[in-house]
Amino acid sequence: MAIELQQVSYVYSDRSLWKQTALHNIDLTIPQGSIVGIAGATGSGKSTLLQLFNGILKPTEGTVKVLDVTLQAGEKSPKLMALRRRVGLVFQFPEQQMFEETVEKDLCFGPLNFGMSLEEAKERARKAMVAMGLDLELLERNPFRLSGGQMRKAAIASVLAMDPEIVVLDEPTATLDPVSRAELISLLERLCREQGRTIIIVTHRMDELLPIADSWIVLKEGQAAFQGSVQELASDPTILERCGLAIPQSLRYWRALADRFHLEGEVPRLTPKALAECIASLSSEISHTGIEKGDIHE
Ligand SMILES: Nc1ncnc2c1ncn2[C@@H]1O[C@H](COP(=O)(O)OP(=O)(O)OP(=O)(O)O)[C@@H](O)[C@H]1O
């Protein structure tokens, strides 16, 4: 397992008596080399959960196991620095992550910080740029002179330069146009399928992640209300509504087709994932050809 949580709770508190429970009694497992989507209504605990994955936060109760590191309430973990190198976190707003005067310096920052030579760090930076489909000429550019899509990819590249085994992304496609979103999703898929990394993505746009996600975790008021495959989610998508989320378009279609043609119980050739993939590629084609401008998911 890449990540395993046992009976994990997290409570925010300050010096006064004020307390806010963000996560409550969570058990979950994330297999190595898989793509996992995390969904949940606003305030359900998604960002808190992500911060437990690389030790920014420690559980108030329970045990978080990430790779070979165990984080437990009240106990110090000697391997926290190493863990942060092995679990890369990409925040929702990439500008919060870029602070150097060139993209190259930004990408080299992490590797240099972990003791690599400048040569090695620059090589890592170049590889990460290529993995994110970015032109190497952009290495000399000020990060704040990049387009929104380039900036987001560069922020992911700065995390990849550390060569993490697990990449955790908070809404990576937010603010991108439909074509850039589809491109980014396929790059993220390659990071998993071709490079064997575990990819964890928080998203409010389930439709675009459904074609590539191996499994989903759905949070409701700090608890894991669902954990399973797309197929399992498709068998009762109303769980999403009970968690305050809209049922994604592709699952609606699949459910309707499954009911209409009695697909359940057989080995359906039309899997929810295949249908999601079909819809995502059609959406991208439509916006690409300009038949319908804007976001057809919304
Ligand atoms: N730094 C903090 N201090 C105190 N409470 C916090 C803090 N961060 C989050 N919370 C609270 O913890 C709960 C979970 O918040 P969290 O940000 O993890 O949810 P989320 O699902 O990521 O929300 P969103 O989709 O709006 O980003 C919420 O009730 C929130 O108000």
Q: How confident is the model at residue 95 (pLDDT cuts 50, 70, 90)?
A: confident
The residue whose CB lies within 8 Å of the most ligand 1 atoms, and thus the one to mutate among 24, 44, 96, is 44
Q: Would you say the CB of residue 97 lies under 6 angstroms from ligand 1?
A: no
Instruction: Kindly give the number of the ligand 1 atom that is closest to the alpha carbon of 204.
Output: 25
pLDDT for 143 equals 92
Phi and psi, residue 46, nearest 5°:
-60, -50
Return the structure tokens found at 225: 């209300």
Mean pLDDT of 30-46: 97
Q: Would you say the CB of residue 43 lies under 6 angstroms from ligand 1?
A: yes
Specify the length of the chain in residues.
Answer: 298
Mean pLDDT of 164-168: 97
Q: Identify which of 225, 241, 199 has the alpha carbon closest to the alpha carbon of residue 27.
A: 225
**How much is the ipTM here?**
0.97
199 CA → ligand 1 middle, Å: 22
Task: Give the whole-number percent of the chain exceeding pLDDT 70.
Answer: 92
Return the structure tokens found at 250: 């592709």
Say what the pTM is. 0.89
Reply yes or no on whether the pLDDT at 290 is more than 80: no
Q: Would you say the CB of residue 152 lies under 6 angstroms from ligand 1?
A: no
180, 149 contact by CB (below 8 A): yes
Please report how the helices 118-131 and 103-113 are oriented relative to each other, as an axis angle in degrees rounded to 10.
120
137 CA → ligand 1 middle, Å: 38
- Using CA positions, which residue lies closest to atom 23 of ligand 1? 43
214 CA → ligand 1 middle, Å: 26
Q: Would you say the CB of residue 22 lies under 6 angstroms from ligand 1?
A: yes
CA distance 63 to 72: 5
Q: Which range, of 45-54, 98-107, 145-154, 173-182, averages the lowest pLDDT? A: 173-182
Q: Would you say the CB of residue 248 lies under 6 angstroms from ligand 1?
A: no
- Using CA positions, which residue lies closest to atom 5 of ligand 1? 12
- Using CA positions, which residue lies closest to atom 16 of ligand 1? 45
Reply yes or no on whether the pLDDT at 65 is more than 60: yes
144, 95 contact by CB (below 8 A): yes
pLDDT, one tens digit per residue, over 244-285 is: 999 998 888 888 877 777 776 555 567 788 778 877 777 766
User: What long-range pairs does 289-293 form, CB within 8 A, spacing at least 24?
Assistant: none
Is it true that domain 30-52+78-289 has CATH number 3.20.20.140?
A: no
Q: Which residue is associated with the tokens 């808190």?
A: 48
CA distance 47 to 216: 15
pLDDT for 268 equals 56
pLDDT, one tens digit per residue, over 110-128 is: 999 989 999 999 999 999 9
187, 132 contact by CB (below 8 A): yes
